[in-house]
Amino acid sequence: MNWKRHLPILQWLPEYQRTTFSSDLLAAVIVTIMLIPQSLAYAMLAGLPPEVGLYASITPLFLYAIFGSSRTLAVGPVAVISLMTAVAAGNLAVQGSSEYIGVVLVLTLMSGLMLTLMGLARLGFLANFLSHPVISGFITASGLIIAASQLKHLLGVSANGHNLLELLLSLFAVLDQVNAPTLVLGLGSLVFLYAARLGLKPALLKLGLGARLADLLTKAAPILAVAVTTWLTYALRLDLQGVAVVGEIPSGLPPLTLPSLEWGLWQQLFLAALLISIVGFVESVSVGQTLAAKRRQRIDPNQELTGLGASNIGAAFTGGMPVTGGFSRSVVNFDAGAETPLAGAFTAVGILLAALFLTPLIAYLPIATLAATIIVAVLSLVDFKAVQHTFHYSRSDFASMLATILVTLIEGVEAGILVGVTLSLLMHLYRTSQPHSAVIGRVPGSEHFRNIERHEVETESHLAILRIDESLYFANARYLEDRVMDLVAQQPQLKHLVLACQAINHIDASALDSLETINARLKDAGVVLHLAEVKGPVMDRLQHTELLPSLQGQVFISTFAAWEALHQLSALEPAQSSSGTQPTQPQPTH
Amino acid sequence: MNWKRHLPILQWLPEYQRTTFSSDLLAAVIVTIMLIPQSLAYAMLAGLPPEVGLYASITPLFLYAIFGSSRTLAVGPVAVISLMTAVAAGNLAVQGSSEYIGVVLVLTLMSGLMLTLMGLARLGFLANFLSHPVISGFITASGLIIAASQLKHLLGVSANGHNLLELLLSLFAVLDQVNAPTLVLGLGSLVFLYAARLGLKPALLKLGLGARLADLLTKAAPILAVAVTTWLTYALRLDLQGVAVVGEIPSGLPPLTLPSLEWGLWQQLFLAALLISIVGFVESVSVGQTLAAKRRQRIDPNQELTGLGASNIGAAFTGGMPVTGGFSRSVVNFDAGAETPLAGAFTAVGILLAALFLTPLIAYLPIATLAATIIVAVLSLVDFKAVQHTFHYSRSDFASMLATILVTLIEGVEAGILVGVTLSLLMHLYRTSQPHSAVIGRVPGSEHFRNIERHEVETESHLAILRIDESLYFANARYLEDRVMDLVAQQPQLKHLVLACQAINHIDASALDSLETINARLKDAGVVLHLAEVKGPVMDRLQHTELLPSLQGQVFISTFAAWEALHQLSALEPAQSSSGTQPTQPQPTH
């Protein structure tokens, strides 16, 4: 067993140095400050008590430091996964109940096990099913749903709906019940956080602050909003005036939890856990790769699966929720100078201290502030520009993106992603079911052959050369049959057909059947089939099949060799009938 | 509207000639004789009263003659579709009940509508989802299930089971209850039919009969078995000794039936109807294409969908069951000399006469004879040789074939086909997720470039040329990112990377994103990205994207042009640092 590959900590820890330590520690402080409000907020988004968000930012970070292959990825609760968690658990239990928390623990464990198994089985390629337009459309739609779902907290009203439209309509119906103090706190936080994101850093730089300090203050904006609104609520007893607050939350170490092993529950959560795993992995791995590339480092996608799997299993046993590598926190970690996963472990210590000592202070934290934090975070996920670019680049990619967005908004997250994946697969199959191919003729006086429709080339009425520009497999095998038989039907004097195979890297069993069928049908129609320029590995596999022995024609080393042999043939036997009798043939070259 | 395309009858009927008439009529007589016992048997296999099989061989044949594009295809009930019908309807109603017949009518109508809609929407390519190993494995497994399910009729016992093993065990348990007269009739028919299939024709030819007559007698073997065993049962009153017989069946025209429009039922049958449609279409279209090719004719797969759709809609309204183009009857029709679909219409008239006048005669027809007919017919579907060939040709194709067979045998027909399709798609995606690519170098003194791992070629430490041998799309986009970043991580002095794109026919939106990501990551790593030999249509689409403006490098017309430009560059600036500053560049060629 290759320990260093499966336990990346063995690669970096032995070489750890004092200078790296200070960089990692500073990064951890910045990420901790950013992560506290985010963890509370995403737990709320997932329908869980706020402390669950903190718990999910402790054990998983330690485990990722041991098993993860990215040096700078920061794991924890993220917006889209929290939404998917809320939807999946909400189907089976009531938000806020202890059953609900139990369902989330099972979901977390299942997702952890799936990720780990996929990593061990090296199934990272499964993430390729999610095309970029589908994942980007899905994240945009999720961002819109999340933002809309938080509006009620900002306004201090109750509203519910199964999709975006219902949600907005139900909000509209209770607009007269808006709680003014909540709105002031919520809107105030929103404007402050948004302004901080857009313009705080340049403004601080202008005021003469150092770049690092300006950066730190900008990152601290959310915790500042939390502190100020909590203090205001406490000082003015706004909770008595209808401002919803987080309330008393237990302080202490993360609890040890044992997820239920009830088989029925596992079956019901299977699809949700799989989608959460794959979406989380895709998000995480693309962040990890982007950051690694900046320092010419590499991450191993299959080891990432194991790292994320271990993190989620850890979360499931310590009162957490599904986690993955988050975009913004990882970028902050990277920018703040983190050099090894030890920065993540230090962050975990920071969050642990918060869970132990800070929780009494946030009893008066207004929920509206957390909602504002979420809205500002997720609106950066909404990317209409990507929709526009996709529209201009490719109508079929746009169609799967739009379907993903609409179905996610109307039917929900799981349906959205499944429809998107199915559509993009269908369109891929449709596209490859008609492989590029061209009937080619000889460029006069040369050994080159070109498409007869685009170039002035020599052709023969008794000979056709068909060049196929793609590998042959089940989705395009039938098209090839059609293409060949159309050619035969159109060219009544045809006696020899050459398939030029220089672009074929692979022939699967379906395509082999099709070639045998084509050979048999051509024989019936009195046409001899030849092959040309078959690649070595393809030829090796064809050796042991029935295609070559049953081939009436031969396998030529090049298209030109085929042309020379069959061209001469017709010159020698101009009056041969089309009855399908076999002409004298030169020895096959294979 | 192109009437001739949508109504193929307009192509052949106006040119119809007297000589064709006699060929078509003779073929119809032979097919009718063959079809009567087959129709009765497949209705029984589907769990329906025998007359339903006759009804399903009347209207559909007329409608196919109008809408179908094959000249010689013979439609009607077929074994595999009958099995799938029995499974789907058996989930919702008890065999033999009037509800059951109602469910089958809905299934037939749904399948007809799906086929027609797929034809009008030109979705024939959907059949490409079924790879040959999956369909061949599915048919083999279905053949085994069907044969096993008929054994009880041959033995005159009752047995049931949800899969092959259960069925055989339950048969074994009641072996002591075997009805001797039934066994004699059943086994006698089986041996006779099998012998007829194997050796009757050569034997008759030896006796000096003409080829045509010998052929006709061979085709008539099933009806002979039916006649003899019916007469024996009637004469010896074997029905009183426990031989199960068909019993009284109504004679007359097919009834007009109105399938239920209950939405819940339609929803429950959706998947079954879809699978029946696609399997039926795949079977039918491959028979149709094989026969058409023998006469250099063409069939239009999308028009075939419409033709089969119309046939099934017709069957649903005239007391029938799902139908498709059958292999054996179509071959018989073709061999007997049928030239136009009018042969099918004549066959329909023949079956109609049978429904009107023959039904009283078959009250004493033993069910064991029908079971023997089915067993002999389906055993020709079982193709272990194909399994063996697939095993030798491709392990991955074999895996999906084996999974299809095992799941079909153990879990059932629907699960079997779904697992097969999913597996073959997964394996295709896995294969294409790692596109062929090679780092290439210059063959000394030439303008040719070859794989550096296989050939002695010139390379440069500051320059790498990566040739990609396949189109780029979502499943392989991520692999390309990995491949490039691995290259960069391995070659520390690298400053220029050229992607040689001569084999790329298509770049989808995911791959475009990946190229942009690669460009950005390379920029971060201080490497300049260039493209070479981009095809015209691909370049046209890239023109309007952000890739080209953000490309630090350039687009070269050929790999050699890239080599010359970047090779010179290094010669001129040997001491350039790797800080990522941009070297002076020649003008882009695009």
pLDDT of B586 above 50: no
Global ipTM: 0.74
Stated as kind and residue range, the H or E segment containing B441 is strand B437-442
In order, the DSSP letters of B333-367 are HHHTT--STHHHHHHHHHHHHIIIIIGGGGTT-BH
pLDDT of B268 above 50: yes
Q: What average pLDDT does range B179-185 have in this prediction?
A: 92
Of A131, A509, A546, the CB nearest to B474: A131
Q: What is the pLDDT of residues B507-535, one digit of tens each?
A: 988 899 889 989 988 988 889 999 998 88
Of A429, A436, A541, the CB nearest to B505: A436
**Of B220, B143, B140, B202, the residue nearest B405 (C-alpha):** B140
Of A130, A394, A503, the CB nearest to B509: A394
Of A79-83, A111-115, A352-356, A501-505, the one with minimum mean pLDDT is A501-505
Show me where the domains of chain A are located. Answer: 21-127+134-158+178-382, 437-572
- Contact check, Cβ <8 Å, B294/A521: yes
pLDDT of A209 above 70: yes
What dotted CATH number matches A437-572?
3.30.750.24
Are B469 and A505 within 8 A, CB to CB? yes
Which chain A residues are within 8 Å of B517, Cβ to Cβ?
290
A287: nearest CA partner in chain B: B517
Q: What average pLDDT does range A381-405 have in this prediction?
A: 90
Q: What is the pLDDT of residues B70-96, one digit of tens each?
A: 888 899 999 999 999 999 999 999 988
Q: What is the pLDDT of residues B148-163, one digit of tens each?
A: 888 989 988 888 777 7
Give the whole-angstrom CA distance, residue B381 versus residue A129. 35
Judged by DSSP in three states, B182 sits in helix
Q: What is the largest CA-CA distance in chain A?
A: 107
- Contact check, Cβ <8 Å, A510/B131: yes
Among A387, A450, A471, A513, the residue to mutate for chain B (most B Cβ within 10 A): A513
Are B455 and B442 within 8 A, CB to CB? no
Regarding beta strands A528-532 and A555-556, do their DSSP bridges make them parallel or antiparallel, or are they unpaired?
Answer: parallel
pLDDT for A581 equals 38
- Angle A225-A229-A232 from CA coordinates, rounded to 5°: 145
pLDDT for B17 equals 81
User: For residue B553, what are the contacts with CB-CB under 8 A and spacing of at least 6?
Assistant: B496, B498, B528, B529, B530, B531, B585
**Of B489, B546, B567, the residue nearest B522 (C-alpha):** B489
Are B101 and B48 within 8 A, CB to CB? yes
Of A293, A476, A506, the CB nearest to B524: A293
Q: What average pLDDT does range B5-29 have in this prediction?
A: 82
Over pLDDT 90: what percentage of chain B? 31
Confidence of residue A575 (pLDDT cuts 50, 70, 90): very low
Hey, how many other C-beta atoms are within 10 angstroms of the C-beta on B167? 18
Residue A358, burial from CB neighbour count under 10 angstroms (0-12, 13-18, 19+) = middle
Instruction: Give me the torsion for CA of B388, B393, B395, B399, rounded to 10°.
Output: -50
Judged by DSSP in three states, A529 sits in strand
Distances (CA, A) of A549 to A147, A500, A532, A554: 66, 19, 16, 10
pLDDT of B573 above 60: no
Question: What's the order of all strands across the beta sheet hosting B437-442?
Answer: B449-451, B437-442, B463-468, B496-500, B528-532, B555-556
Which chain B residues are within 8 Å of A469, Cβ to Cβ?
505
B128: nearest CA partner in chain A: A475
User: For residue A478, what are the contacts with CB-CB under 8 A and spacing of at least 6?
Assistant: A433, A514, B127, B128, B301
Which chain B residues are within 8 Å of A401, Cβ to Cβ?
509
Confidence of residue B317 (pLDDT cuts 50, 70, 90): very high
Q: What is the pLDDT of residues A158-175, one digit of tens each?
A: 887 777 888 888 888 888
**Of A290, A310, A398, A508, the residue nearest B430 (C-alpha):** A508
- Contact check, Cβ <8 Å, A429/B546: no
Q: At what angle are helices B98-120 and B79-90 packed, to 10 degrees?
A: 120
Q: What average pLDDT does range A39-50 have in this prediction?
A: 92
pLDDT for B1 equals 54
Q: What average pLDDT does range B528-549 have in this prediction?
A: 88
pLDDT for A579 equals 39
Give the whole-angstrom CA distance, residue B395 versus residue B411. 23
pLDDT of B211 above 60: yes
pLDDT for B588 equals 41
pLDDT for B296 equals 67
Are A549 and A543 within 8 A, CB to CB? no
pLDDT of A570 above 80: no
Among B474, B515, B516, the residue to mutate for chain A (most A Cβ within 10 A): B474
- Contact check, Cβ <8 Å, A397/B470: no
Q: How far is A57 from chain B (nearest CA, A)?
A: 29
pLDDT for B570 equals 57
Q: What average pLDDT does range A368-388 have in this prediction?
A: 87
- Angle B284-B286-B288 from CA coordinates, rounded to 5°: 70
- Contact check, Cβ <8 Å, A125/B425: no
Q: What average pLDDT does range B425-438 have in this prediction?
A: 82
pLDDT for A112 equals 96
